[in-house]
Amino acid sequence: MTSPRSPLDRLRYCLGVDDLKRELRALCAPYGTISRLDVLRSQRSGKRQAICLWRMESREREQQVISEFGVGRFGGDLVAVVELQPPPAGEGQESPYPRSGWGDLQPLGPPG
């Protein structure tokens, strides 16, 4: 069974953060203005991701975006994780996305 496609699916083809921000702003424009937008990039095991955190001009507008795009909340922000497509062939092996260190974190021991 396949899930319905989200309007956010087109973000996966963005090549850089500026492109992704521009595209997300365009997608949200019918629902109002994005008042704050942060994009966290990650690359791990060959998989590129962008975590988008943003706020609209009002909670009512945010609720419209949640309903339309199927995004969630993280703290007070709207959140979407975008699985980015690999860069086109011939663009070299070096990724513009820094390697995420999330998997390298060691658990904390008991307080000593």
- For the record, the structure tokens of 108 come out as 């904390």
pLDDT per position as a tens digit, 19-75: 999 999 999 999 999 999 999 998 888 888 999 999 999 999 999 999 999 999 999
The predicted pLDDT at position 112 comes to 46
* Domain 7-87, CATH among 3.40.50, 3.30.420, 3.30.70, 1.10.1220: 3.30.70
- pLDDT band with cut points at 50, 70 and 90 for residue 6: confident
Q: What are the sequence ranges of the domains in the chain?
A: 7-87
- Sign of the dihedral defined by the CA atoms of residues 61, 65, 68, 70, in that order: negative
Give the Cα-Cα-Cα angle 49, 34, 24 (nearest 5 degrees): 35
Stated pTM of the model: 0.71
